[in-house]
A and B are shown apart, each in its own frame.
Chain A
Amino acid sequence: MASTVSRQSFLKLTGIGVGALVFSELGFDMAKATAIKRELRIANATEAHSLCPYCAVGCSLVTYTRQNAATNGVDLLQIEGDPDSPINEGRLCPKGATALQLAVSPRRVEQPMYRAPGAATWSTMSWDDALGKIAQHIKDTRDRTFVAVDKKGNTVNRTDGMAFAGGATFSNEEGYLAAKVMRSLGTVFLEQQARV
């Protein structure tokens, strides 16, 4: 179909709410096509509000999900910028715009993995086993490296042999809990991306 429509006017034509004028310019009814397209893509989708997980601009996202009867799961259909946000006003950069591929990925680790001392490969482990072993490690390391009173006679109640680092990529509430629990274990080596 030879078209005399310029890119600029094409983009104008494909806007929402454009009426019957659209028909003659492109040779078909754009409004009806748009309606059909929208209906298929996000039909029965649940709209929710999220935030971009990448930088600290804090772009707001609108997400579209739909129940998948066949897999008994939830499909993530689309992530876009939230036009209501006074921060991003609906815009996203390449990272936010492709966040769907970060969220749903065959490259994610599916279950807990364990690497024994000196081993050349990973093996799988249940959550119960992994958390059980880690908890015992935390206790043993704490008991071995705990300093209740230092050499100058000061009460210090700290665990010298253990460290926790991370947090810039999880929520306030998760971070607060991590710091609270780690300090209650006597951890003084507590750091996150802010340092580096």
Chain B
Amino acid sequence: MTNHWRDIKNADVIFIAGANPAEAHPVGFQWFMRAKLDPTKGTGKGGGAKIIHVDPRFSRTSAVADHYLRTRTGTDVALFGGLMSYVLNNNKFHDEYVKNYTNASFLVSKDYSFHDGLFSGYDPKKRAYKTFAPPAKPPATADKSWGYQLDENGFAKRDNTLQDPQTVFQLLKKHYSRYTPEMVELITSIPKADFLKVAEIVGEMGRPDKVMTVVYAVGLTQHTTGTQMIRSAALLQLLLGNMGRPGGGMNAERGHANIQGNTDNAISWEILPGYLKVPLPGQKTTDDYVKASASKKLDPNSWNFFGLNYKKFLVSLLKTWYGDHATAANDFAFNYLPKPAGNASWMTIYDNALQGKMEGLMLSGMTASSIGPDSNQVMAALAKLKWLVVMDPFPTTSSEFWHGPGMTAASVQTEVFMLPATHWIEKDGSFVNSGRWMQWKDPVMPPQGQSRHDHWIIAELQHRVKALYQHQGGKFPDPILNLTMNYKDPIRPTLDEIAREVNGQDLKTGKQMVTFAKLADDGSTSSGNWIYVGSYTPKGNMAKRRMGVQDPKKNDPTGMGFYPQWAWSWPLNRRVLYNRASADLQGKPWDPKRPGIQWNGTTWVGDVPDYPPKMSPTDPAAWLPFIMNGEGVGRLFSNALLDGPIPEHYEPVESPVANALHATVSADPVAFLYDKAAKRENRFGTPDEYPIIATTYRLTEHEHYVTQQVPLLVQLQPEPFVEIPTGLGQEKGIKTGDMVRVHSKRGEIRVRAVVTNRVGQLTLGDKKVWQVGIPIHWGFVGIAADMHPEKSQYWLANALTPFVGDANSRTPEFKAFLVNIDKLPA
């Protein structure tokens, strides 16, 4: 989240898309209801915040929403594009904000174009665009058409009147002119009148004294156009002037206790801690790496803070990992860092295993078989591994895959190790929530049985592998032998020691660092993750602080819900990111009733400023508000993504209709087709065989798959089901409780039908299509599976989903695919 949970109570309008917070984040949802019950919030003169809910299913969130729009899964770019079109055509955008805080005035290359679903620079053989994001060294065939027109200093040219047809503003307006209310209805199935009612509300949120928040979850991310869906909502928020403001922002409701923290710590192939890019082949030195990875200053008033300090963050990381073995003389051991050949994400792991290229896999608190996608294909991949290690407190569908559905144990040669890991409650350490708040927990219980802490398992494995290299020799052991593991007990490090390491030290004094602004690139500082500097200072572990609602007057002096001394948020305990944009050019809050930060004549006050605290807003050299990127402003147009500088609607890979905007380029032209590339059989179904649109979703009582081990929760939600529309039930003679077979080109489930009006029929032009919903939580392991060993062989929801992912992130398209449904004999 750019903002945080409690901040949602500050909003006038809460726009929820691709999420069901009343059911998936129920306790967080209290902040939505507080806004709704607050008469000072809302449209017009107030009366309570308005909740808008866009979702394929009518859920408990919809039940308390002021406007519910049933939408076709996978069409959110069309909806947000339509809203942008409305806002631009009716002059509802926040004029001063757009002119000064976004790149609306920047001039784009004259070679940029968009025709019939393709942007300039597309290579159909490679299924990729040839554009590049400066300052990476461009290959000879690179296409610069997604770049800005630059002046002699390398800064982007601008037209501050926004009239030049090559301004981002005019290009955006032209791009979304096709997204009329009629087109939105044709693509999404949302009736034009309903869309316009919501557009009117959204348009009002462009007023400086109004603010809207956008809340989303995996309903937006789990698509082949997921990145662009989220981006299209962010663009709308930039046009309305809602980024950087309390009650505003883009707020992802993440799904796990520490998914945020471990994203920050870069358990992701393409990043290093703190969102540094992973080094790539061809980058011989830290300077090569920084040149290719760091953003370049594109405006004289752009601080370009991240780009400017990139090397300092990388060197401080290398000093943490390699200590005295990382010096200026060896370029800080830069070449110890492994450089991936190409994409190395989740699906690529299983794709490689299917091709016999993956020998071993370690799964920690995560189960591949249940997650899939295309669970049958993933289990086939596990069966091709030499070895599999599962670290988990409970058995999982991965530890047990070798006797799971479709498996013959005697034919599965995979060696499997099940290591019982401890539970969260048996150790201390921090979890970081969706709002970036890092909270520390006490160790409450001793480990059950012989279970062992994950960090002790990993530390001991490191220790043993190191000893093997010392005794047996082997391939390039240096990065292993020289790894810093300076804990009192190197095979039993404490989480306190690691927390201190992540924060970092001034290596000259040995003192904990207080701010990342003081990190250096000369080897004199260390930090395991620059965004966490300040979390563990000489004053102690800031994540342990507990100045909460026991005394609201004292602990939340601004009344904005910041609670600055409860735990700690990154970066530097800032609660709302980009908060310079919450004030105008003079430093006055756009909305004095909801100040983020404001200039008091000598300093910025309020939230921790995302800006130099003493920089005067009226100084002609004052930095632009979006200090982390090269432009210094919000990017309505950006060349940083692989499938387009402006979000465009593309159909899910499995879809019952052709793209109404351009039938010849229906689905995302960049989404990587794994099976095709590996020359495996096609696993995509056609609408003739599979005419029903399916989406997957989550229930309150279950968390992925682990809750299948919790008796009370299994009692509340005992067995899997599929929600089907009343009309479809009538058509197929299916009543609630009947067993049905839901199948896709890839697999099937056999579950109970729930016939309901919560899901429905979509009208897409002259076509009528059914849309159904499938909860994900069941499989062949758990209490219910033990009770139904045969039935549970057909409970994996992800046996249905397609093995294809987002063009940029390769997040699987779990949320939109095609199925058919048959009633099973009684």
Binding site for B on A (CB under 8 A): 48-60, 63, 65, 73-74, 76, 81, 83-89, 91-96, 98-99, 101-105, 107-120, 122, 125, 127, 130-139, 141-148, 150, 152, 154-181, 183-196
Contact = CB atoms under 8 A, between A and B. Distances in A.
Given A138-B461, A168-B257, A192-B263, A109 B394 contact: yes
- The 8 tightest CB contacts between A and B, nearest first, are A171-B429, A58-B433, A166-B364, A168-B256, A135-B464, A158-B338, A110-B449, A175-B262
Given A162-B360, A172-B258, 4 more contacts: A158-B340, A165-B366, A168-B258, A172-B264
Nearest to B812: A196
A57 B268 contact: no
Interface string B662-703: 000000000000000000000000000000000000001111
Nearest to A94: B701
Contacts of A174: 427, 429, 453-455, 458, 495, 498
Contacts of A179: 265-267, 273
Nearest to A145: B359
B417 A95 contact: no
A150 B265 contact: no
B20 interface: no
A172 B254 CA distance: 15
Interface in B430-449: 430-435, 437-439, 441-446, 448-449
B344 A189 contact: yes
Given A142-B475, A158-B338, A181-B462, A189 B710 contact: no
A169 to B, nearest CB: 4
Given A107-B709, A171-B258, A172-B258, A93 B27 contact: yes
Nearest to B494: A173
Contacts of A107: 394-395, 709, 783
Contacts of B391: 166
Contact of A184 (B321, B393, B394, B548): B321
A173 B495 contact: yes
A92 B812 CA distance: 31
A50 B311 CA distance: 37
Given A55-B257, A56-B254, A111 B713 contact: no
B265 A51 contact: no
B642 interface: no
B330 interface: no
Contacts of A184: 321, 336, 462, 479-480, 483
Contact of A165 (B337, B361, B386, B445): B361
A119 B414 CA distance: 9
Given A95-B703, A96-B27, A160 B341 contact: yes
A176 B528 contact: yes
B196 to A, nearest CB: 34
A56 B502 contact: no
Given A169-B365, A189-B344, A130 B417 contact: yes
- Residue with the highest number of chain A CB atoms closer than 10 Å, among B27, B281, B460, B814: B27
23 contacts: A51-B424, A51-B441, A54-B257, A58-B432, A63-B444, A85-B549, A93-B27, A108-B394, A109-B418, A115-B418, A117-B415, A130-B417, A166-B391, A167-B364, A169-B365, A171-B261, A171-B495, A172-B262, A173-B502, A177-B498, A185-B479, A191-B346, A195-B268
Nearest to B388: A115
Contacts of B357: 160-161
B282 A94 contact: no
B254 A85 contact: no
A55 B348 CA distance: 26
B471 to A, nearest CB: 10
Contact of A110 (B262, B352, B450): B450
Contacts of A88: 27, 30
Interface in B232-270: 253-269
A75 to B, nearest CB: 9
A145 B546 CA distance: 48
Given A93-B26, A110-B449, A181-B461, A50 B273 contact: no
Contact of B713 (A50, A95, A108, A178): A95
Contacts of A190: 266-269, 344
A73 B447 CA distance: 10
A188 B269 contact: yes
A57 B255 contact: no
Contacts of A110: 420, 448-451
A113 B392 CA distance: 12
B24 A185 contact: no
Contact of B446 (A73, A134, A135, A189): A73
B365 A166 contact: yes
Contacts of B433: 56-58, 87
Contacts of A133: 417
B713 A112 contact: no
A156 B563 CA distance: 46
Nearest to B475: A146
Interface stretch (B118-126, B204-212, B405-413, B788-796): B405-413
A85 B483 contact: no
B709 to A, nearest CB: 5
B86 interface: no
Interface string B353-385: 000011111111110100101000000000000
Contacts of A176: 265, 273, 498, 501-502, 528-529
Contacts of A58: 5, 257, 431-435, 437, 439
A107 to B, nearest CB: 5
Nearest to B427: A171
Contacts of A116: 415
A96 B365 CA distance: 18
A188 B266 CA distance: 11
Contacts of A146: 475-476
Given A98-B712, A172-B502, A185-B480, A131 B424 contact: no
A71 B254 CA distance: 39
A138 B460 CA distance: 13
B697 to A, nearest CB: 14
B768 interface: no
- In the complex, which of the residues B364, B393, B443 has the most CB atoms of chain A within 10 Å of its own CB atom? B364
Given A65-B445, A114-B417, A184-B321, A109 B259 contact: no
B343 to A, nearest CB: 10
A65 B434 CA distance: 29
A118 B442 CA distance: 42
Given A160-B341, A168-B256, A194 B268 contact: yes
A195 B222 CA distance: 9
Contacts of A48: 442-444
Contact of A178 (B27, B269, B364, B434): B364
B255 to A, nearest CB: 6
Contacts of B426: 103
Nearest to A187: B338
Nearest to B283: A154
Nearest to A91: B27
Contacts of B461: 131, 134-135, 138, 181
B420 A131 contact: no
B427 to A, nearest CB: 7
Contacts of B267: 164, 166-167, 175, 178-179, 190-192, 194
Contacts of A138: 360, 461, 465
Contacts of B183: none
A186 B257 contact: no
A38 B267 CA distance: 44
Given A50-B444, A74-B445, A184-B479, A178 B454 contact: yes
Most buried by A among B5, B444, B716: B444
B798 to A, nearest CB: 10
